[in-house]
């Protein structure tokens, strides 16, 4: 069955336009730049295909030159959308390179008069933008944390198609209705189908990636302290239970440090709440730099912080706590004596890997440190001995 090319062209125009408008609408709702550039890509594809439709009615130069320039800009917008998704910026020289090269080559009579040369160059330029789009996702795959493989698969298939086209497609003259039944028609028909499927597919998977990342950001915000950027109490309780359960299975100790900034109310009253916030941020940054990556650190109260040190006994934890205490007291954020921290230390035992119980014991040790003058590290073992009858 022979496909009617003008009908396919019109369907492609409407498909590209519809997907472009829907994607722009999605961008307008969430203000995600990736969707904005993707919407522009689809609308440019619709415009470029419309210009191709006028070919053969006396304005071939518009279709051959301007139409392909618009389509190459559309391919460049696809690359730009992926750049923005991985937190890059639009690269104007790269966007204009493909269309500019096409325009320059069209000034060469031998090239302009050779359909096979035009098809090959356009296909290679379109494939180049496809490779760049896929590379953006591949280079940043470790940090994406979303399902990027469907998008990469679509872009690689689209790129492979144009690479094949550059080699085997002789081109199809759209001069009259009889030409639409001759050489190049099957491949041109398949190209239109592939382009429509790609437009629908890339719009869907990109929207899915944007939605997935937004959900991850919301989830991270729910488990993050707004001021300091470290975990909050909810995150500490959830991940702390998991860490303790894992350590219990492996028979390894876990030590809890419960830290409370000394005289924090006096600090706020004397220097104002902005300075108090700076002290909280400074303590968070200092402690994070001392702890290991697999240790758990969170702000669980106003000026109260908790650290879970995996595979660490009491002696090693006390050394870490002393480093935190000393370095915080040495900060030149305020006048001497205004910055100090008291720390309670408790280590899990074979019989106790319960986080709530460890917090209770560490809290007793912390208040023992407060009673003994603050700016000190106190272990739960010594505390229990001190309060024993």
Confidence band of 121 (pLDDT split at 50, 70, 90): very high
Count of Cβ atoms closer than 10 Å to residue 273 Cβ: 10
User: Do 187 and 99 reside in the same domain of the chain?
Assistant: yes
- Region 21-26: what's the mean pLDDT? 95
The verdict on residue 227 lying in a domain is no
The verdict on residue 264 lying in a domain is yes
User: Do 41 and 93 reside in the same domain of the chain?
Assistant: yes
The verdict on residue 380 lying in a domain is yes
User: Do 164 and 15 reside in the same domain of the chain?
Assistant: yes
Domain count, the chain: 2
User: Do 145 and 36 reside in the same domain of the chain?
Assistant: yes
The verdict on residue 9 lying in a domain is yes
Decide which of 186 and 79 is more confident. Answer: 79
User: Do 205 and 300 reside in the same domain of the chain?
Assistant: no
Averaged pLDDT of the chain: 88
User: Do 281 and 368 reside in the same domain of the chain?
Assistant: yes
- Region 47-66: what's the mean pLDDT? 75
Please state, in angstroms and rounded to a whole number, the distance separating the CA atoms of residues 190 and 187. 5
pLDDT at 383 over 80: no
The verdict on residue 16 lying in a domain is yes
Q: Which residue has the tokens 């296909």?
A: 123
Decide which of 77 and 387 is more confident. Answer: 77
The verdict on residue 375 lying in a domain is yes
Report the percent of the chain where pLDDT is more than 70.
Answer: 90
Please state, in angstroms and rounded to a whole number, the distance separating the CA atoms of residues 361 and 258. 10
* Residue 282 confidence (pLDDT): 93
User: Do 75 and 100 reside in the same domain of the chain?
Assistant: yes
b or e along 113-130 (b: 16 or more beta carbons within 10 Å of the residue's beta carbon)? Answer: eeeeebbbbbbbbbbbbb
Confidence band of 73 (pLDDT split at 50, 70, 90): very high
Please state, in angstroms and rounded to a whole number, the distance separating the CA atoms of residues 339 and 224. 24
User: Do 260 and 167 reside in the same domain of the chain?
Assistant: no
Q: What is the pLDDT of residues 163-217, one digit of tens each?
A: 999 888 776 655 544 444 444 467 778 888 899 999 999 999 999 999 999 998 8
Report the percent of the chain where pLDDT is more than 90.
Answer: 63
Please state, in angstroms and rounded to a whole number, the distance separating the CA atoms of residues 348 and 363. 14
Residues 6 or more apart in contact with residue 371 via CB below 8 angstroms: none
**Domain range enclosing 46:** 5-222
- Region 71-91: what's the mean pLDDT? 96
What tokens appear for 246 in the block? 């894992």
Which of 196, 222, 248 is the last residue before a domain boundary? 222
* Residue 59 confidence (pLDDT): 60
User: Do 64 and 187 reside in the same domain of the chain?
Assistant: yes
Please state, in angstroms and rounded to a whole number, the distance separating the CA atoms of residues 188 and 74. 19
- Region 151-172: what's the mean pLDDT? 89
- Region 46-71: what's the mean pLDDT? 79
User: Do 258 and 365 reside in the same domain of the chain?
Assistant: yes
User: Do 274 and 215 reside in the same domain of the chain?
Assistant: no
* Residue 331 confidence (pLDDT): 87
Read off the CATH number of the domain in which 242 is found. Answer: 3.30.70.270
pLDDT at 382 over 60: no
- Region 331-353: what's the mean pLDDT? 81
User: Do 238 and 212 reside in the same domain of the chain?
Assistant: no
* Residue 222 confidence (pLDDT): 87
Decide which of 306 and 354 is more confident. Answer: 306
What tokens appear for 282 in the block? 């400074």
Q: What is the pLDDT of residues 249-290, one digit of tens each?
A: 888 899 999 999 998 988 888 888 899 999 999 999 999 999
Decide which of 381 and 234 is more confident. Answer: 234
* CB-facing half-sphere around the CA of 165: CA atoms within 13 A: 30
The verdict on residue 228 lying in a domain is no
Which of 222, 254, 270 is the last residue before a domain boundary? 222
Which of 222, 250, 279 is the last residue before a domain boundary? 222
Decide which of 326 and 63 is more confident. Answer: 326
- Region 353-380: what's the mean pLDDT? 91
Decide which of 277 and 386 is more confident. Answer: 277
């Amino acid at each position: 069955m022979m496909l009617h090319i003008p009908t396919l062209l019109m369907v492609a125009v409407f498909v590209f336009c519809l997907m472009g408008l829907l994607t722009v609408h999605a961008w307008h709702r969430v203000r995600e730049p990736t969707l904005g550039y993707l919407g522009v890509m689809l609308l440019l594809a619709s415009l470029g295909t419309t210009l191709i439709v006028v070919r053969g009615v006396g304005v071939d130069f518009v279709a051959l030159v301007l139409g392909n320039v618009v389509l190459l800009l559309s391919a460049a917008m696809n690359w730009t959308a992926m750049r923005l998704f991985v937190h890059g910026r639009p690269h104007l020289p790269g966007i204009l390179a493909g269309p500019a090269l096409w325009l320059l080559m069209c000034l060469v009579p031998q090239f302009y008069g050779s359909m096979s040369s035009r098809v090959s160059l356009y296909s290679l330029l379109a494939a180049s933008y496809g490779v760049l789009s896929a590379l953006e996702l591949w280079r940043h795959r470790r940090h994406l944390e979303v399902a990027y493989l469907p998008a990469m698969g679509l872009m690689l298939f689209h790129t492979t198609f144009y690479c094949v086209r550059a080699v085997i497609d002789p081109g199809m003259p759209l001069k009259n209705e009889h030409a639409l039944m001759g050489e190049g028609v099957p491949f041109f028909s398949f190209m239109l189908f592939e382009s429509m499927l790609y437009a629908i597919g890339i719009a869907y998977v990109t929207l899915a990636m944007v939605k997935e990342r937004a959900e991850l950001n919301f989830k991270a915000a729910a488990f993050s302290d707004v001021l300091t950027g470290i975990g909050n109490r909810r995150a500490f309780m959830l991940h702390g239970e998991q860490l303790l359960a894992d350590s219990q299975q492996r028979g390894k100790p876990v030590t809890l440090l419960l830290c409370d900034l000394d005289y924090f109310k006096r600090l706020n009253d004397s220097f104002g709440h902005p300075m108090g916030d700076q002290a909280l941020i400074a303590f968070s940054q200092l402690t994070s730099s001392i702890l290991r990556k697999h240790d758990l650190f969170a702000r669980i109260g106003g000026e109260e912080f908790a650290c879970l040190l995996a595979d660490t006994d009491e002696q090693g934890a006390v050394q870490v706590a002393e480093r935190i205490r000393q370095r915080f007291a040495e900060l030149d954020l305020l006048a001497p004596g205004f910055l100090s921290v008291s720390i309670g230390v408790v280590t899990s035992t074979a019989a106790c890997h319960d986080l709530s119980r460890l917090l209770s014991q560490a809290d007793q040790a912390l208040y023992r440190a407060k009673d003994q003058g603050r700016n000190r590290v106190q272990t739960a073992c010594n505390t229990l001995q001190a309060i024993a009858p």
